[in-house]
Amino acid sequence: MKTCKLLIVGAGAAGISAALAAWDAGCRDILLVDRASQPGGILPQCLHDGFGLAKYGKELTGPEYVMRLMEKLNRTDIVFLPKTEVLSVSGDQSAVLSRRGVVERLYFGQMILASGCREKNIGALCIGGTRPAGIFTAGQAQERINLRHQDLGDEIVILGSGDLGMIMARRFTQEGRHVIAVLEQEAHYGGMARNYHRCIEKYSIPLHCRRTVREIHGKGRVCGVTVEALDSGEREYVTCDTLITALGLIPERELVRGLEDREWLFLAGNCSRVHDLVDSAVAEAERIGRMAGRRLSV
Ligand SMILES: Cc1cc2nc3c(=O)[nH]c(=O)nc-3n(C[C@H](O)[C@H](O)[C@H](O)COP(=O)(O)OP(=O)(O)OC[C@H]3O[C@@H](n4cnc5c(N)ncnc54)[C@H](O)[C@@H]3O)c2cc1C
């Protein structure tokens, strides 16, 4: 029977940090798994700097931040298994893992869920029209541009001015694409002031508040969107070939639905609540990791 003392699901910043803290607290049988082929979660696709000011006193890129965590992890005997997905978790303190086509059950003493969050997609809004090619969530677009070097389009409309929307507006502009506008339903941009100044203001990207997309046009490919001014109700057709949705993030914790009250289960990082800053996700994960580690080291 496969067992471990501490199972950590998700090797993003939170999962790795929780593992390191549990190790420092004395726990010596830790299994860290991630369905991705590399550690770091969302960070490897975040090529911009802005990570780590509180923890490291300087602004790192996402990959640099992961490298620092991995350097520490590699000095421990924590077992990290990439390409390993946790398919389910049961009340008898077991989880079903899938790795390289093999599905097996693992029993654990404690578990830390650090599975991050997912993006709200266009289905979360009642937008009329068609659903042609050329619609991406901001996270999908970031992964395709930064890691797969794909060309997504030339004339871009971004719906949502949270941090992800603003960061992607800058990214498309840096890539030589035309960001026609970032649209925001509220009266003010949604993300951090820092990102507004660095991404929107600095690159003179138009930000239109109290606006939304009412309809998407196009058959094979997006050819335009109908934009509505929410205060006047006025509508305008905007020609574009790409629509990026940045509608917010939802903590990803379906795996443990119904088990939230178990004393062997902890949540850390963005699956617990969405953290704007990686340092905040890490600080929470370190606290959780220490707690779980202390319990298991006695
Ligand atoms: C686009 C973007 C830009 C950002 N910019 C900044 C910034 O400039 N500065 C800053 O400080 N912060 C920034 N943040 C915030 C910061 O990156 C996050 O708060 C932090 O990285 C979240 O870490 P996490 O470990 O909780 O989640 P994630 O990084 O999402 O990691 C979760 C991991 O869990 C794995 N997983 C999920 N389910 C399973 C399963 N069933 N089995 C196995 N593995 C599973 C996933 O594959 C993933 O690797 C940004 C976030 C985003 C999305």
- 199 CA from centroid of ligand 1 (Å): 20
Residue 297 has pLDDT above 80, yes or no: no
pLDDT in tens, 141-183: 999 999 999 999 999 999 999 999 999 999 999 999 999 999 9
Beta partners for residue 33, in sequence order: 9, 81
| Rounded Cα distance, 167 and 198, in Å | 9
Task: Give the confidence band of 298 by pLDDT, cuts at 50, 70, 90.
Answer: low
- Average pLDDT over every residue of 220-236: 97
Residue of 31, 37, 42, 271 to mutate, ligand 1, most atoms within 8 A of C-beta:
42
C-beta of 97 in contact with ligand 1 (< 6 A): no
- 40 CA from centroid of ligand 1 (Å): 7
Whether 167 contacts 48, CB under 8 Å? yes
Task: Give domain 121-247's CATH number out of 3.90.1530.10, 3.40.718.10, 3.40.190.10, 3.50.50.60.
Answer: 3.50.50.60
CATH of domain 2-118+250-297: 3.50.50.60
Residue of 278, 279, 282, 288 to mutate, ligand 1, most atoms within 8 A of C-beta:
278
Start-end ranges of CATH 3.50.50.60 in the chain? 2-118+250-297, 121-247
pLDDT in tens, 268-284: 999 999 999 999 999 99
Residue 239 has pLDDT above 70, yes or no: yes
Q: Pairing mode, if any, of strands 128-129 and 235-239?
A: unpaired
Buried b (16+ CB within 10 A) or exposed e, 156-170: bbbbbbbbbbbbbbb
